Structure 1
Amino acid sequence: MRRTTMCASAALLISLAVGCGDPQVDSEGLGIFGNVKVAPLEGGGPQARPTDPEMQAKPGGPVLGVIQMAVHIYERPDHRSDKVGYLRLGVTVRRGTKPAAFDSCQGGFYNILPRGYVCLDDGATIDLNHPLIRAGLKQANRDHPLPYDYAFVRAIAPRYYRLPSEKEQFKYEMSLKRHLRSFKRLKQKWNAIEVGSNDVPIDEIGNGLGPAPEDPPELTEGEKFGGDGSDAIPWFFDGKRKLPNVSNFKVPDYAVITNRIKRHAGVALIDAFEGEGRHFALTTDLRLIPTSKLKPGRGSPFHGVELVEGWELPVGFVKRDRAYDHEKRGGRFKKLRKRYAYGAAIQLTGEVRRDGSRRYVETEDGSWMRTRDLAISAKLSKLPRHAKDDTKWIDVSIHRQILTLFEGKTPIYTTMVSTGKDGLGDPRRTHSTPRGTFRVRDKHITNTMDSQVLGSEFELNDVPWVQYFKAGYALHAAYWHTEYGRPRSHGCINLSPIDAYRIFRWTEPRLPEGWHGVSVTEGTGKGTIIHVQP
């Protein structure tokens, strides 16, 4: 990832993280939203749990809804207390009947489940008839490796503020007649999909179960871009726009378009429908993009292996497009016809042999494979000090491009990753992943990042399962590539969506139901250890 990483959720979140590799920020003690440590409350401040029963949030109680892209959750009903997490646009959570405090918040701080306080003035409401609550916006799916439907911008595209008429489309989209003619001719090719992350069955803890299906599901055009298949125009876009602007690009209410989005950008989508002669997709910040200028992005079906039921270290993952078995004859090796696809997991015995300058490893069935074709997850020769009892920790090897989950001394899951493309360079000067022992600092279901490909900047919206551990460096899913096993990033640790989902569910702190992000504070406990070694 690029060395500037911006939180997706509007201006109030911009101070969250400075990106994979930015050397300018001290990560020690940073909360989920900002680089300034909060001054301690005199006398401890208001109680973390209200004593008045009517102020306490309870199951089945009244709800509070979010009407901005994100709203902070505070440890106590005071803006000076720790920010323990945040809620995303459109979500509703249980709240207390009465506000717990009004200090610095005219609308009142409400206690919410399972903990914490939200100030109504920050972008929340108890009016369930508010259009942003009544809209019933699709929330991130916490049961799938990709929490939204994703797409990539095929050509520079408008971000419409409301549903444009046909005349307005031709006004704001250059060479539209030629584009629509090409789309009509090439639609099947342009919108073809492959098997993706969400097509692989997963178990209750997030492990991928077996190989991916051979064929992708049959989807309508709308379903490929976040729709439910009905293609019906939502009430809030039927006629004029009936929702307030929540994006960080400010426009007057009468606007047709906000701005344009560059080619190759990745976007998360929550609906799609047909209107004014075309299909339009709705992004998470409630702007419209014509689907003829999008390509479905379905994420890689690759995933690691749980180290049970026949799997143990060492394990190899095929990291090249094609890799072959070899037969050992005397001291020489001969290539056989058996071919392995990228991402295949192979149980190894630990035996290694050389044939001249080539190294080979033995597989469980007695054949041999070249080490250059594999990312190898091997047993660690020496465990770090924190490998004791049932302590959860993550080991990342930059040289091997391997990540392994441990509980104490026991490895429980292993997979391929992509770390910084400059290898073991200085993270302050190169696109390298920092080495050392860290802890998870904050976690996000999704977060938006800037990136760079071939010198051309573009956006990567709503990157899934982000876990920051040092300044702007994070573990996260990469839905835009399938090059795990090879250094590629601008310093972050890239994972397949399935692996990122599996790890996110396992690490501490846990993300409460309804929250979009959680930060490590005294109340949430310590984050899981991340040990990055050469």
Structure 2
Amino acid sequence: MRSPARALLLAISLPCCVRSEPPGLPGDEPAASVVVTAGGAPTASALPPPPVRPAGKASAASAASAASAAPADNELPIGAEYEVPAEGGVEVIAVTRPVWIFDTPDSLGRRLGYLNPGEAVRRAERPVSTRRCKGGWYRVAPRGFLCASSDVTTDRSHPVAAAYARLARRGEPLPYVYGRVQSSLAYRYAKAPSRSEQRAAEGDELDEHIGKVSRLYQQTITGEPEPLPPSLLGGAILPKAGNVTHRARHGAHRGAASGHSSFAFFSVHDVQGRLFGLSTELDLVPLDRLKLAPVTRIHGGPIDDLPAALVHRGTAARLRPNGSGQLAADGQFEPYETLSLTGQARDELLETRDGAWVPGKSVHVIKKRTSWPGFLRDDDPMKWIDVNLQGVVRTVS
């Protein structure tokens, strides 16, 4: 029986991820789900384990097919040149999307994960197989095999690799600067456009429009602009990664973004006195044509066990028993504060584990699961996040 553990509640508007070893190693047991709590220590899941479900005929057949197609471990060449060194080694960079990593040196194997353009892994010196891959299958760190095709490069000066020199800002409140289109004139520029090129695309009213924009407000969200990267110097045209859909270029731009499109930007740059964002699709977009997303104040927090509650947008009254045993006001709970509950209720009030009471209508309650979705299998090593779209709450465990 599992001991009580800690879980973490997050408002769904926040990005969330749990770092873990890639799934799919032969013989791996499904690992206990973990979460890094406010104290920073990983803890076991508070949720009950999924029920044991036998693998279906289809999954068994597909596993047998993959096993027969891929070379067995004892058939692979042995030697240091076929292993990824502990340090250093050859770096392989993705220049298309996605570049899949497999658990065996075969495209019929199980997919462990993928690389986005600009992301890199270290590989062995020599390939272990050329089955369905002319360039050869290489072991990569931390595990798995990658096909050396035109989808990857070892050259950091490759146009796509160089353009994706900046990746997501891990560890920051948001990995990118985000914006949503709010103008039909949000053009996707393929280069750092001159002011005349901007007017040609956006019209003669451009200067008047820019004069109404509060750059100070923009920079409260984006921070100070960065110098132009080499991929944008000297009128250079931004490349496009493979498998990324894009429009044909018309002079300095690739057309206007469709309404309600959203962008994620690696970086923000000053071009001709105007702020532009370099998007993850390698387009340069004027930020004054977008509604920028500030870092949200909504946050979650650790709780001891389920059931738990998340205070709604407003504050919630906090009540405690007084000397005569009657509930009396004792301050308030803050918006989006997380509360551990005992499961006891009376008169539409819910009891917290520290002895306080809160109105049930002021919180969203998260209950402990007693059953699991039917698609979960006992041989599935994936970690899952329970998302309540109606209640806009994530329970991470």
Same fold, judged at TM 0.5 (above): yes
Which secondary structure state, in structure 1, belongs to the residue aligned with residue 149 of structure 2? helix
Distance (Å, rounded) in 2 between the aligned partners of 1:441 and 1:159: 42
Distance (Å, rounded) in 1 between the aligned partners of 2:58 and 2:266: 31
**Equivalence map 1:174-189=2 (5 Å):** 175-183=205-213, 186-188=214-216
The answer on 1:93 being equivalent to 2:121 is: yes
Change (3 A) 1:365 1:287: same
Could you tell me which of 256, 259, 278 is aligned with 1:282?
278
What is the Cα deviation at residue 281 of structure 1? 0.7
Q: Is the 8 A contact 1:64 1:125 kept in 2?
A: yes
Q: Is the 8 A contact 1:41 1:80 kept in 2?
A: yes
- In structure 1, the residue matched to 2:24 is none
What is the Cα deviation at residue 164 of structure 1? 1.7
- In structure 1, the residue matched to 2:268 is 272
- In structure 1, the residue matched to 2:309 is 316
Distance (Å, rounded) in 1 between the aligned partners of 2:170 and 2:79: 33
Q: Is the 8 A contact 1:155 1:262 kept in 2?
A: no
The answer on 1:240 being equivalent to 2:235 is: yes
Change (3 A) 1:315 1:46: closer
- In structure 1, the residue matched to 2:337 is 344
Distance (Å, rounded) in 1 between the aligned partners of 2:194 and 2:274: 10
Which secondary structure state, in structure 1, belongs to the residue aligned with residue 234 of structure 2? coil
What is the Cα deviation at residue 322 of structure 1? 3.4
Q: Is the 8 A contact 1:314 1:379 kept in 2?
A: yes
Distance (Å, rounded) in 2 between the aligned partners of 1:30 and 1:135: 42
What is the Cα deviation at residue 143 of structure 1? 3.5
Aligned residues: 331
Change (3 A) 1:158 1:144: same
Amino acid at match of 2:365: I
Change (3 A) 1:112 1:317: same
Amino acid at match of 1:317: L
What is the Cα deviation at residue 113 of structure 1? 1.2
Q: Percent identity?
A: 25
What is the Cα deviation at residue 44 of structure 1? 4.8
Distance (Å, rounded) in 1 between the aligned partners of 2:386 and 2:307: 23
Could you tell me which of 356, 359, 377 is aligned with 1:370?
359
Please say which of residues 138-147 and 51-60 is displaced more in the overlay. 138-147
- In structure 1, the residue matched to 2:80 is 53
Amino acid at match of 2:315: R
Amino acid at match of 2:390: P
What is the Cα deviation at residue 289 of structure 1? 1.2
Which secondary structure state, in structure 2, belongs to the residue aligned with residue 236 of structure 1? helix
Q: Please report the TM-score for the alignment, with normalisation by the length of structure 2.
A: 0.69
Amino acid at match of 2:227: A
Q: Is the 8 A contact 2:100 2:115 kept in 1?
A: yes
Q: Is the 8 A contact 1:95 1:112 kept in 2?
A: yes
Which secondary structure state, in structure 2, belongs to the residue aligned with residue 121 of structure 1? coil
What is the Cα deviation at residue 321 of structure 1? 1.9
Distance (Å, rounded) in 2 between the aligned partners of 1:375 and 1:172: 48
Distance (Å, rounded) in 2 between the aligned partners of 1:79 and 1:306: 43
What is the Cα deviation at residue 337 of structure 1? 8.2
Change (3 A) 1:177 1:83: same
- In structure 2, the residue matched to 1:398 is none
Q: Is the 8 A contact 1:107 1:121 kept in 2?
A: yes
Q: Structure 1, residues 460-504: CA drift from partner, whole Å, max 9, x if none?
A: xxxxxxx7x7xxxx757xxxxxxxx88167xxxx53xxx7xxx4x
Distance (Å, rounded) in 1 between the aligned partners of 2:164 and 2:177: 17
Q: Is the 8 A contact 2:308 2:366 kept in 1?
A: yes
Could you tell me which of 484, 487, 500 is aligned with 2:390?
487
Change (3 A) 1:167 1:284: same
Change (3 A) 1:232 1:188: closer
Gaps of 5+ in 2: 1-55
Distance (Å, rounded) in 2 between the aligned partners of 1:41 and 1:366: 56
Q: Please report the TM-score for the alignment, with normalisation by the length of structure 1.
A: 0.53
Amino acid at match of 1:86: Y
The answer on 1:167 being equivalent to 2:196 is: yes
Q: Is the 8 A contact 1:151 1:296 kept in 2?
A: yes
Change (3 A) 1:72 1:344: same
Amino acid at match of 1:305: P
Change (3 A) 1:188 1:148: closer
Could you tell me which of 133, 139, 153 is aligned with 2:161?
133
Amino acid at match of 1:233: L
Gaps of 5+ in 1: 1-27, 32-36, 192-219, 385-394, 396-434, 444-466, 477-484, 507-534
Which secondary structure state, in structure 2, belongs to the residue aligned with residue 238 of structure 1? helix
- In structure 1, the residue matched to 2:112 is 84
Q: Is the 8 A contact 1:363 1:369 kept in 2?
A: yes
Q: Is the 8 A contact 2:309 2:338 kept in 1?
A: yes
The answer on 1:152 being equivalent to 2:177 is: no
What is the Cα deviation at residue 161 of structure 1? 1.8
Distance (Å, rounded) in 2 between the aligned partners of 1:350 and 1:128: 57
What is the Cα deviation at residue 86 of structure 1? 0.8
Distance (Å, rounded) in 2 between the aligned partners of 1:374 and 1:120: 52
Distance (Å, rounded) in 1 between the aligned partners of 2:285 and 2:381: 31
Q: Is the 8 A contact 1:73 1:86 kept in 2?
A: yes
Distance (Å, rounded) in 2 between the aligned partners of 1:372 and 1:72: 47
Q: Structure 1, residues 349-376: CA drift from partner, whole Å, max 9, x if none?
A: 544222xxxx122456665432111123
Q: Structure 1, residues 22-71: CA drift from partner, whole Å, max 9, x if none?
A: xxxxxx8999xxxxx68825745324564243222222212211111321
Distance (Å, rounded) in 2 between the aligned partners of 1:255 and 1:70: 29
Which secondary structure state, in structure 1, belongs to the residue aligned with residue 236 of structure 2? coil
Amino acid at match of 1:125: T
Change (3 A) 1:230 1:55: same
The answer on 1:71 being equivalent to 2:96 is: no
The answer on 1:257 being equivalent to 2:195 is: no
Of structures 1 and 2, the one scoring higher in RCO (CA 8 A, sep 6+) is 2
